[in-house]
Amino acid sequence: MAFVPLVVAVLAGIAVGWFRGGHLSELRRLQINSPLLVVAVIGSGLAIDHYDIAVAPLVAVIGIVAGVGFAFRNIHLAGMVVVGIGILANLLPVVLNGAVPVRADALIDADMIAEADVAGLSLNGSRELTDNSTILAVLGDTIPVRLTSQVMSYGDLILLVGLADVIANAMRRRKRRARSRSRQSPVIATGSPDQLWGIAPKPTPESPTQYSAMPDSAAPANVPFRTTEATPDSPSTPDLDVATQIR
């Protein structure tokens, strides 16, 4: 993948994130796992494009697998799934054909070669022209980009869209955190102020000892006694048991 489309995807992600209320400062808080895998992806691409390596297809596979691993390790980032799909789309034709299939018509439309040069054209690195034996040629470099004089694959486009999506969503993390806090409902106490658990007591006592700290000792005592017998000086009173409440 060329440098210009990558920069365009990054700027597009920043623009979308800013338009949706995001902040660039949030990008510094991204939790990125296994960043060395990105170094492996970039290193393999530079080695294939600038050096004539005999095992270029193998180096390309290693770089693409490293990219898939990076996407899997950072699957917690919104949009990284799309990046992983784009990388897998680029990996399939390389594994099945041993090289990246390139459509000759796409090279002509991108002003990279003249039509008369197709017959004797041979590609270096991990790329080869498509023919009737190419498997999944549609996933190869078949999209001409005349502005930058290059050809791209559908996997490249999916990857760039995913990258822009990751950046745009990462810039909006502060807004999502504020929204989640506002959705939390307040805790409302339903008991009396001094109630810690259980059901609050009724305002009207049901018994004299309902609110007593020592109900056994403070309960009313029923003390039975018998009246004295009648004397000549007092009127006669029948014997009866009387219960007197003593607190």
Q: Where are the domains of the chain?
A: 3-182
**pLDDT on residue 50:** 76
Mean pLDDT, the chain, rounded, equals: 80
14, 171 Cβ separation under 8 angstroms? yes
Q: Which residues pair with 226 in a beta bridge?
A: 241
For residue 134, what are the contacts with CB-CB under 8 A and spacing of at least 6? 93, 97, 101, 140
Q: How far apart are CA 123 and CA 121, in angstroms?
A: 7
Q: How far apart are CA 156 and CA 125, in angstroms?
A: 18
Q: Show the low-confidence residues of the chain (pLDDT under 70).
A: 1, 174-247
**pLDDT on residue 245:** 46
**pLDDT on residue 227:** 52
What pLDDT, in 10s, does the model give residues 20-63? 999 988 988 888 999 999 999 989 988 887 777 778 888 999 99
* pTM of the complete model: 0.68
